[in-house]
Amino acid sequence: MADLSKNFAKVLTEALPYIQKFNGKTVVVKYGGNAMIDAELKSSFARDIVLMKSVGMNPIVVHGGGPQIGDTLKKIGKESEFVGGMRITDGETMDVVEMVLGGLVNKQIVNLIHQHGGNAIGLTGKDGSLISAKKLKHDFEPTSEIIDLGHVGEVDKIDTSVIELLVGGDFIPVIAPIGVGKDGFSYNINADLVAGSIAQALNAEKLILLTNTEGLLDSDGKLLTGLTSKDVNQLIKDKVIHGGMLPKINCALTAVQSGVKSAHIIDGRVAHAVLIEVFSDSGVGTLIVNNE
Q: List, for residues 266-289, the tens digit of each pLDDT value.
A: 999 999 999 888 888 777 899 999
CB 191 within 8 A of CB 208: no
Say how far apart CA 271 and CA 38 lie, in whole Å.
10
Query: In the 8-state DSSP scheme, what is residue 128?
Result: G
142 preceded by cis ω (within 30°)? yes
Say what the pLDDT of residue 130 is.
97
Say what the pLDDT of residue 257 is.
95
Average pLDDT over residues 130-159: 80
Phi then psi for residue 101, to 5 deg, are: -70, -50
Say what the pLDDT of residue 137 is.
75
Closest C-alpha to 51, from 256, 205, 228, 276: 276
Say how far apart CA 133 and CA 137 lie, in whole Å.
12
Query: In the 8-state DSSP scheme, what is residue 102?
Result: I
Say how far apart CA 266 and CA 283 lie, in whole Å.
8
Per CATH, domain 22-289 is 3.30.342.10: no
Q: Which of 97-101, 158-162, 217-221 has the lowest mean pLDDT?
A: 217-221
